[in-house]
Amino acid sequence: MYLEALRRYPVKSMLGEELTESEVTERGLAGDRVRAVLDVATGKIASAKNPRLWRGLLTVEGAGAPGDEELSRLLGREVRLIDVPPEGAEFERSVPERVLAEGIEAEVPHTAGTLGGASPAGTFFDFAPIHLVTTSAIARIGALGPRGTVEALRYRPNLVIGTEAEGFVENHWVGRELRIGDEVVLAVIVASPRCAVPTLEHGSLGRDADALRTVARHNRVPVFDMGPQPCAGVYARVVRPGRVRKGDRVRLDA
């Protein structure tokens, strides 16, 4: 296996940027999700997981995010860019099945999530500092969907692992370690449950409801006490930091 692509997202829920190499620490890829947008009215972290309110974030380049005033005009709410999460910061996650059924404009039920259950304090990750997906999983989702293809960046991975295997192979990596290049070691924690974000417009990419619908039909995986969830990719934490480069060899420990 090899490292096909690496991406970081400087501002949570905004567009990311592809890298050729990156330092990796316990806080993930250098510069990844180092800022977020705070909804002034509610005190919550803005997340495109609630697409009715925040899908506009996916039209903004995180590397060149505008100031608070311009961003507030763009999003239609008073917001602030922050680099330190408030204590107990929460974000809203719309029930993805309801978004599929009723559309992104509908007021659907949502759950409240807290940041970084498996991340160092003071970070803006939803759960863990690394999210990765395999080329085989992306190929499988595409093959099962009506378009015959799907874009990996819809799932906002940090790492895309190239593999000659077939299907959702990373489902079986939970509890194991990945070695990337000569330095970095990751511990795979859990499969990554999908929200409505893959279905949304991402910059120039149009909407694609099947990016979630296909996963919901064909890859439901138990996630902690949540029962089977539609999953694509896995979350990981950093066991040994170092530097990774596009093309690095990736090995799965026994």
Query: What CATH number did the domain enclosing 108 receive?
Result: 2.40.33.20
Average pLDDT, the chain: 97
Q: How many Cβ atoms sit within 10 Å of the Cβ of residue 118? A: 16
Instruction: Identify the burial level of 48 via C-beta atoms within 10 angstroms of its C-beta, where 0-12 means exposed, 13-18 middle and 19 or more buried.
Output: buried
Residues 227-238: tens digit of each pLDDT: 999 999 999 999
Strand partners, 228: 222
- Identify the pLDDT of residue 81: 98
Cα distance between residue 132 and residue 237, in whole Å = 11
Structural domain of 39 = 2-252
pLDDT over 80 (residue 144): yes
pLDDT over 80 (residue 203): yes
pLDDT over 80 (residue 121): yes
pTM: 0.96
- Segment 149-160 shows an average pLDDT of 98
Strand partners, 79: 39
Amino acid at 230: P
Can you state the percent helix, strand and coil of the chain, rounding each to 5?
Answer: 25, 35, 40
- Segment 143-152 shows an average pLDDT of 97
Residues 56-68: tens digit of each pLDDT: 999 999 999 999 9
- Identify the pLDDT of residue 195: 96
Contact 55, 104 (CB under 8 A): yes
- Identify the pLDDT of residue 133: 99
Q: How far is CA 54 from the centre of its chain?
A: 15
Q: Identify the band that residue 82 occupies on the pLDDT scale cut at 50, 70 and 90.
A: very high
Contact 169, 207 (CB under 8 A): no
Cα distance between residue 160 and residue 171, in whole Å = 14
pLDDT over 80 (residue 254): no
Q: Identify the band that residue 183 occupies on the pLDDT scale cut at 50, 70 and 90.
A: very high
Q: Identify the band that residue 21 occupies on the pLDDT scale cut at 50, 70 and 90.
A: very high
Total count of domains within the chain: 1
- Segment 210-235 shows an average pLDDT of 97
Instruction: Identify the burial level of 207 via C-beta atoms within 10 angstroms of its C-beta, where 0-12 means exposed, 13-18 middle and 19 or more buried.
Output: middle
Q: Identify the band that residue 116 occupies on the pLDDT scale cut at 50, 70 and 90.
A: confident
Q: Which two tokens stand for residue 56?
A: 């506009």
pLDDT over 80 (residue 221): yes
Q: Where are the beta strands (DSSP E) in the chain?
A: 2-8, 17-19, 21-25, 28-29, 36-39, 79-82, 90-94, 110-114, 130-134, 159-162, 177-180, 184-193, 220-222, 228-240, 242-245, 250-252
- Identify the pLDDT of residue 230: 97
